[in-house]
Amino acid sequence: MDPQSAAVAGAQVTLTHPAESTPAQVATTSAEGVVVFHPTSIGPYQVRVLAAGFAVQDIDIPSSEKGITVTLRLAAASETVVVTATRTPVPSAVAGADVESLSHGQLEVMHPVAAAEALRFLPGAIVNTNGRRGGIASLFVRGGDSRYNKVIVDDVTINDPGGTIDFGVIPLTEADRLEFVRGAQSTLYGSDAMTSVVQVWTRTGTTPAPELRIGADGGTFDTANGYISVSGARGRFDYNLFGDQFNTSGAGINNAYSDSLEGANVGAALDDRTSLRFR
């Protein structure tokens, strides 16, 4: 039921035995908000309730319990926090600027070879690639020149003031987040941020045990891509070491392209308010 004691229909209820990783039974609540399970073994069990608009609810059921009533809580409104618009973390709704962002999950689904392939999906970004893969990819925002964009990776500006940058060779492997701010940002970032600011952060290690990610994919024209990363965190220290290699012979003569990436994101917390990070 909901917080007003009204029945919640169409909720997914999962019954899982603590000793097993896969659910024993899955059912959907009826119009009266009721679901009935017929377990094949003696409990205890764990129940998870998923319903649109409500927070996930997990409940432990002892073996002696025959029936329970679950009161769902309303889910908190989702909110995106951005940094580039004001140089401090603020909700995007109050940033006072046109900000678009791509999370780590979205970037993994897109699996872009370079930043140009991710930016072209954002509103207001016009990416023009000169020729096939490996050609210069330029970003044009609000009618401005391609030299009017400031690009920052891990808090370090990677293009010269008034200079162009090739977005076709900027890999996004292990990128944790990408933010794209449209409009003049000269007050915060200098005169070279006349039409936009593009900022990328690499992923930091978070797991106590070392996390190894490795993968490869390929396609036509001798296209092959391999990537690997090792990350983790222990005590005051966290680390993420990663590499990526992309090769293709292209569809025509002299269209071969190769891009390599080696990177690291290593940090140490000196105290509660100070940290040292090497990228």
The percent of residues above 90 in pLDDT, for the chain, comes to 20
Q: What is the pLDDT of residue 240?
A: 94
Q: What is the DSSP string of 84-111?
A: TTTTS-EEGGGSSSEEEEEEHHHHHHH-
Homologous superfamily in CATH for domain 81-202: TonB-dependent receptor, plug domain (2.170.130.10)
At 171-194, the pLDDT tens digits run 888 898 999 988 877 678 887 888
Q: How far apart are CA 191 and CA 6, in angstroms?
A: 57
Q: What is the pTM of this model?
A: 0.68
- Enter the tokens of residue 80: 């995106």
Average pLDDT score, the chain: 85
Contact criterion met (CB below 8 Å) for 137 and 114: yes
pLDDT at 157 over 70: yes
pLDDT tier for residue 225 given thresholds of 50, 70 and 90? very high
Identify the H or E element spanning 118.
helix 115-119
pLDDT tens by residue, 17-29 = 877 777 888 888 8
- Rg, C-alpha atoms of the chain: 24
Q: Kindly write down the DSSP assignment for every residue of 243-267, as one continuous string.
A: EEEEEE--SSTT--EEEEEEEEEEE
pLDDT (tens digit, 9 = 90+) per residue, 80-120? 677 777 777 777 766 777 888 898 888 888 888 888 999 98
Structure tokens at 151: 């690009």
For the stretch 233-248, pLDDT in tens is 988 899 999 999 999 9
pLDDT value of residue 77? 60
Cis peptide before 44 (omega within 30 of 0): yes
Q: What's the CATH number for 1-77?
A: 2.60.40
Domain range summary for the chain, segments of one domain joined by +: 1-77, 81-202, 211-278
Least confident of 68-77, 153-162, 241-250: 68-77
Pairwise CA distance, residues 42 & 179, whole Å: 51
Sequence length of the chain is 279
At 78, the pLDDT band (50, 70, 90 cuts) reads low
Instruction: Select the more confidently predicted residue: 63 or 244.
Output: 244
Spatial CA neighbour of 85 closest among 177, 172, 198: 198
